[in-house]
Amino acid sequence: MKRVIIGLSGGVDSSVAAYLLMEQGYEVIGLFMKNWHDDSVTISNECPWLDDSNDAMLVAEKLGIPFQTVDLSEQYKERIVDYMFNEYEKGRTPNPDVLCNREIKFDVFMKIALDLGADYVATGHYCRKGTIQKDGEAIYQLLAGVDGNKDQSYFLCQLSQAQLAKSLFPIGELTKPEVREIAAKLDLVTADKKDSQGLCFIGKVKLPDFLQQQLKPKEGVIVEVSSDQSIYDREEPEFNSVEEKLAYLSRKIDYKIDLGKIVGKHQGAHYFTKGQRKGLGVGGTVEPLFVIDTDVKENVIYTGQGKEHPGLYKKALFVSNEELHWVREDLELNNGETLEVQARIRYRQALESATLYKVENGMYVSFENYQSAITEGQFVAWYLEDELIGSGVIS
């Protein structure tokens, strides 16, 4: 009998995933990952991980499977938290959920599980795994979950063939309502539990509050840039090559304070991210202000009025070779090659038509339509139909 170790998070998805694995005849063991216990930063006095680990234990008891807790907070701090602050200080916006999967659940956690004799590791993600044969080799596919509202393939966009080989996603064929229905039938304590919000480690803490405790506040100015500035002229210059054009389309505009007017003050540019509207505290504009860029070196936030402001839109982005990842290594592009794909630059965004262009030092992703708030440090993921084949960090 094959042994599967499932990450029980104390939520409804992993609870039902555990049950489905039992139904499929696996020997199932539940493991709860404790990722965080620095009480100095839990702002509310609730301690969510205790409630969650308790719920996970009750579910394991109800299903009659062995259960234990593993403390991964040290690796978590090193691989996720430190990385995040490092990124914020560089003025980039990291995605902790994608990293948590790559570095913790499917790496540190997976190694523990395999040491415990597991054949597979399972999670409650809404995605599916496919297997195809190519030149006599098994190749694993990462496929979108059946529930379009809940598809979480994007969060797994950094997984490798080796990680996928050992992974199972039992609820990928189900919709959320079906999952809740199974949990209710089994009378699981997690059946009506709300989906967890916030980072996968800080519990019920909002990211800016968490950052504020860790990064020192530093007063700076908020500058409003008018949308009719000449830097936004959509007249494209003449290009000698496709690569030159892509470099132009994905360029970062070099904002200077004298391009606009000072409209307010902020407590630190590193707390803000492109496309953000809340938290600026500047009133009196016809349309709300959106962050169009942050300059962490000079500590300046650049904003523009309205969500149609040209400073928010770009048609292309660049991923450097170091930050380029192919889930399907067999589909990797060589220099000069292109591929028509569907892509997204954030979770829950509808897939958009795009073309990949591989160049010497990385890869351009060129969209058919303008994209709002392409954010450095976030992940772009590309798909062929419902299969996620690769991803990269937007540079």
**pLDDT, position 38:** 55
If asked whether residues 22 and 156 sit together in one domain, one would say yes
* CATH of residue 235: 2.30.30.280
Give residue 67's domain range: 3-213
Q: Say yes or no: 154 and 43 in one domain.
A: yes
pLDDT confidence tier of residue 41, bands split at 50, 70 and 90: low
Tokens matching residue 181: 């229905």
Pairing relationship of beta strands 120-122 and 3-7 according to DSSP bridges:
parallel
User: Based on the domain organization, do 327 and 303 belong to the same domain?
Assistant: no
Nearest to 348 by CA among 69, 103, 149: 149
For residue 107, pLDDT over 70 is answered with yes
* 302 backbone dihedrals φ, ψ, rounded to 5°: -100, 130
- Report d(CA 113, CA 106) in Å as an integer: 10
Give residue 94's pLDDT band: very low, low, confident or very high (50, 70, 90).
Answer: confident
Shared-domain flag, residues 31 and 150: yes
Residues 89, 137: one domain? yes
Kindly report, residue by residue over 292-344, the tens digit of the pLDDT.
999 999 999 999 999 999 999 999 999 999 999 999 999 999 999 999 999 99
Question: Where a domain ends, among 154, 178, 213?
Answer: 213
Q: What is the DSSP letter of 70?
A: E
Average pLDDT (66-93) is 88
Vertex 193: Cα angle to 106 and 213 (nearest 5): 65
Say which CATH number the domain at 347 has: 2.40.30.10
Is 200 one of the catalytic residues?
A: yes
* Catalytic-role residue among 47, 127, 157, 200: 200
308 and 320 fall within a common domain: no
| Residue listed under structure tokens 């000069």 | 336
Burial 353-379, CB ≥16 within 10 A → b, else e? ebbbbbbeebbbbbbeebbbbbbbbbb
pLDDT at 154 > cutoff 90: yes
DSSP letter at 361 equals T
Q: How confident is the model at residue 37 (pLDDT cuts 50, 70, 90)?
A: low
Domain boundary among 185, 213, 241: 213
pLDDT digits (tens, 9 = 90+) for 176-232: 999 999 999 999 999 998 887 555 555 555 666 677 677 888 999 999 999 999 999
Instruction: Tell me: do 65 and 173 sit in the same domain.
Output: yes
Final residue of a domain: which of 259, 284, 312? 312
192 and 293 in one domain? no
pLDDT score at 43: 47
pLDDT, one tens digit per residue, over 262-277 is 999 999 998 899 999 9
* One domain for residues 247 and 172: no
pLDDT at 36 over 80: no
Confidence (pTM): 0.92
Which CATH number fits the domain that encloses residue 38? 3.40.50.620
Tell me: do 161 and 187 sit in the same domain. yes
Nearest to 271 by CA among 213, 212, 221: 212
Count of domains forming the chain: 3
The verdict on 319 and 360 lying in the same domain is yes
| Co-location of 364 and 345 in the same domain | yes
φ, ψ for residue 390, nearest 5 deg = -175, 170
Report the distance separating Cα 309 and Cα 289, nearest Å.
9
pLDDT at 259: 94
Catalytic residue among 47, 100, 127, 157: 100
